[in-house]
């Protein structure tokens, strides 16, 4: 397909990329391009200048810190995350989820930063990063700031990034002792667009001491379900108590309806995937 | 920068040969291969990154060439389906596709071959599940995939240094 005319530049550093992004209205970063290229083909967004950040080594590093947290460069590809010993060592669930995004070709190009910055409600990684309490590290020409993943996703294809800002990396804190993570999707077919999904981080010490339960595809962005989290706190980590807590998901969520399911169906299935994600998290935490 | 978009001089090594061309920023890599260089073995199926007919190996990684811009490939080393056969001899994967009926219309075959090649580079003796996962990004509307999986499996079972070419089925020229 012939794209609309566009300008292209491949900066040598993040600083140069930021200079270009801040001084050119209509400039947009090009990371793996596995969504943006189609956006350009379909002409649903107008970009004057593509700033190709995909080859910048400083955006591709994956570093495990002394405190057990991991910092993943925004341009690390799904395949690099999948095969990173550092990710596998402490945040296996991130590697597992990255390992089956789309197909091998897309995993070789698509990036974690692009997955987040597109803020497509069907994307795999945003709900997981919210559940894992990740921090988005953002740079502008003369400033840096950090935004909790929970506050980063603002709406359909909308994030907290301001013009001229670039997501440079994502920091995920260590999974606490006694905690595990779970992630369950309901899809039409394996790896097709998801109907509803849930991610959970649960810490057990005899009883459930802390739970983060994130639902995706029930709203424009991943949402924590605080009522279910509260209902889990202090209860035994059993199937019965988790089932009861999932019943807190009710009329407070109003999922979209589409050809794959009504709003009511999605709400009922949200209970199911939330329950399963929490149980998976409890099981994983118990194995460690 | 201009109203027409920037142009870029890029150097790309494809199947061992260095090409230097001036390209528009908006040119997709697959069009650079097919239209600019006349390497039409790489096919365009869906043009949306779904079908895998345009799959190539770029700097050792399997990618869809319709999902990249030509200037992004500047400096890259690329392998396309044209690089598989040597001196008129099909490579073992191509031979195996032929022997196992791993193609009918052949449209998806260049992408299938490159995906299979990338798999066997990383995992010379894959399980059937690994073969199926490796081909998940390549659509075939003819074969039902079974014969393609069989072709990749058979190619993977060949001795690594085998110099013997299996006898050809039938006669005549086979274009792959």
Inside any domain, residue A1 = no
Contact A148, A50 (CB under 8 A): no
Distance of CA B132 to the CA centre of its chain: 17
CB–CB contact A8 B5 (8 Å): yes
Residues of A in Cβ contact (< 8 Å) with B47: 1, 41
Residues of A in Cβ contact (< 8 Å) with B69: 8, 30, 33, 37, 50
**Given this model, what pLDDT does residue A189 score?**
80
- Please choose, from the candidates B7, B5, B4, the residue with its C-alpha nearest in 3D space to the C-alpha of residue B22: B7
**Given this model, what pLDDT does residue A91 score?**
97
Judge if A166 and A62 occupy the same domain: yes
> What is the CATH architecture assignment of B92-156?
Orthogonal Bundle (1.10)
CA distances from A147 to A83, A152, A210, B89 (A): 27, 6, 22, 57
Q: Which band of pLDDT confidence, cut at 50, 70 and 90, is reported for residue B169?
A: very low
Which domain, by its residues, includes A164? 57-172
Contact A132, A22 (CB under 8 A): no
| Residue A45, both tokens | 């967004």
- Please choose, from the candidates A25, A43, A2, A8, the residue with its C-alpha nearest in 3D space to the C-alpha of residue B1: A8
- Please choose, from the candidates B34, B33, B35, B36, the residue with its C-alpha nearest in 3D space to the C-alpha of residue B22: B36
**Given this model, what pLDDT does residue A192 score?**
74
Contact A127, A214 (CB under 8 A): yes
CB–CB contact B26 A4 (8 Å): yes
Share of chain A above pLDDT 90, in %: 93
**Mean pLDDT, residues A104-110:** 98
Q: pLDDT tens digits, residue range B101-136?
A: 999 999 999 999 999 999 999 999 999 999 999 999
From A42-46, A143-147, A248-252, the region with the lowest mean pLDDT: A42-46
Give A184 to chain B, closest Cα distance, Å: 20
Residues of B in Cβ contact (< 8 Å) with A34: 49, 67
**Residue B133, exposed/middle/buried by CB under 10 A (0-12, 13-18, 19+)?**
middle
Interface membership of B24 toward A (CB under 8 Å): yes
Contact B73, B37 (CB under 8 A): no
Give B48 to chain A, closest Cα distance, Å: 6
Contact A128, A212 (CB under 8 A): no
Beta bridge partners of A52: A30
Judge if A18 and A120 occupy the same domain: no
Judge if A228 and A197 occupy the same domain: yes
Contact B4, B68 (CB under 8 A): no
**Given this model, what pLDDT does residue A193 score?**
80
Domain count, chain A: 3
Interface membership of B133 toward A (CB under 8 Å): yes
Extended strands (E) in chain A: 7-9, 27-30, 49-52, 62-64, 70-73, 135-140, 143-148, 153-155, 158-159, 166-172, 179-187, 194-205, 207-216, 223-224
Q: pLDDT tens digits, residue range A174-194?
A: 999 999 999 999 998 876 788
Interface membership of A193 toward B (CB under 8 Å): no
Residue of B nearest to A35 (CA): B67
What CATH number does residue A12 fall under? 3.30.43.10
How many CB atoms sit inside 10 A of residue B62's CB? 30
First to last CA, chain A: 50
Judge if A47 and A124 occupy the same domain: no
| Residue A141, both tokens | 């020409």
Those residues whose C-beta lies under 8 Å from the C-beta of residue A22, and which sit 6 or more positions away, are A140, A141, A163, A164
What CATH number does residue A112 fall under? 3.30.465.10
How many CB atoms sit inside 10 A of residue A48's CB? 15
Inside any domain, residue A247 = yes
Q: How far apart are CA A146 and CA A160, in angstroms?
A: 10
Residue that is written with structure tokens 């209509």 in the block: A26
Interface membership of A57 toward B (CB under 8 Å): no
Q: Is the pLDDT of residue A20 over 50?
A: yes
Inside any domain, residue A2 = no
**Mean pLDDT, residues A252-259:** 91
User: B158: left (phi > 0), else alpha (psi -120 to 50), else beta?
Assistant: beta
Q: pLDDT tens digits, residue range A111-122?
A: 999 999 999 999
Judge if A33 and A129 occupy the same domain: no
**Given this model, what pLDDT does residue B147 score?**
97
Closest Cβ–Cβ partner in B25, B74, B137 for A103: B137
Q: Is the ipTM of this complex over 0.90?
A: yes
CB–CB contact B134 A104 (8 Å): yes
Q: Are strands A7-9 and A62-64 parallel, antiparallel or unpaired?
A: unpaired
User: A56: left (phi > 0), else alpha (psi -120 to 50), else beta?
Assistant: beta
**Given this model, what pLDDT does residue A287 score?**
85
Domain end call among A150, A172, A194: A172
How many CB atoms sit inside 10 A of residue A192's CB? 11
What CATH number does residue A206 fall under? 3.30.390.50
Beta bridge partners of A59: none
**Given this model, what pLDDT does residue B168 score?**
45
**Given this model, what pLDDT does residue B115 score?**
98
Q: Which CATH superfamily is domain B7-83 in?
A: Beta-grasp domain (3.10.20.30)
How many CB atoms sit inside 10 A of residue A246's CB? 24
Judge if A213 and A157 occupy the same domain: no
């Amino acid at each position: 397909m012939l794209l609309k005319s566009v300008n292209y530049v491949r900066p040598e550093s993040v600083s140069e990329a930021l200079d270009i992004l801040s001084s050119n209205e209509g400039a947009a970063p090009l990371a793996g391009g596995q969504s943006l290229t189609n956006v350009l083909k379909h002409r649903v967004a107008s970009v004057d200048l593509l700033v190709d950040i995909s080859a910048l080594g400083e955006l591709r590093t994956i570093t495990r810190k002394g405190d057990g947290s991991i910092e993943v460069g925004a341009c690390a590809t799904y395949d690099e995350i999948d095969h990173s010993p550092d990710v596998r060592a402490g945040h296996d669930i991130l590697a597992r989820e990255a390992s089956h995004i789309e197909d091998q070709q897309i995993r070789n190009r698509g990036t974690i930063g692009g997955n987040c910055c597109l803020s497509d409600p069907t994307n795999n990684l945003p709900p997981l990063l919210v559940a894992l309490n990740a921090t988005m590290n953002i740079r502008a020409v003369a400033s840096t700031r950090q935004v909790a993943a929970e506050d980063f996703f603002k709406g359909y294809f909308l994030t907290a990034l301001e013009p001229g800002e670039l997501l440079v990396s994502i920091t995920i804190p260590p999974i606490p002792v006694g905690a595990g993570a779970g992630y369950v999707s309901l899809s039409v077919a394996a790896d097709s667009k998801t109907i509803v999904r849930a991610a959970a981080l649960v810490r057990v010490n005899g009883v459930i001491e802390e739970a983060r339960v994130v639902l995706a595809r029930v709203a424009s962005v991943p949402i924590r379900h605080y009522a279910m989290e509260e209902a889990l706190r202090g209860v035994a980590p059993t199937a019965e108590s988790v089932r009861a807590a999932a019943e807190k998901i009710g009329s407070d969520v109003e999922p979209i309806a589409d050809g794959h399911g009504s709003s009511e169906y999605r709400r009922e299935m949200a209970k199911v995937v939330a329950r399963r994600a929490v149980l998976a998290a409890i099981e994983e935490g118990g194995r460690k | 920068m201009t109203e027409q978009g920037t142009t870029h001089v890029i150097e790309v090594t494809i199947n061992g040969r260095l090409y230097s061309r001036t390209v528009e920023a908006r040119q997709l890599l697959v069009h650079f291969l097919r239209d600019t260089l006349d390497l039409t073995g790489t096919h365009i199926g869906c043009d949306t990154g779904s079908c895998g007919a345009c799959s190539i190996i770029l700097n050792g990684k399997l990618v869809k060439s319709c999902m990249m811009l030509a200037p992004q490939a500047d400096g890259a080393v690329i392998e396309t389906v044209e690089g598989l056969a040597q001196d008129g001899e099909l490579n073992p994967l191509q031979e195996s596709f032929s022997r196992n009926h791993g193609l009918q219309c052949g449209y998806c075959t260049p992408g299938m071959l490159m995906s299979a090649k990338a798999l066997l580079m990383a995992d010379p003796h894959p399980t059937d599940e690994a073969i199926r996962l490796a081909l998940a990004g390549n659509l075939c509307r003819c074969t039902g995939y079974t014969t393609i999986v069989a072709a990749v499996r058979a190619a993977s079972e060949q001795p690594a240094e085998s110099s013997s070419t299996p006898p050809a089925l039938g006669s005549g020229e086979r274009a792959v």
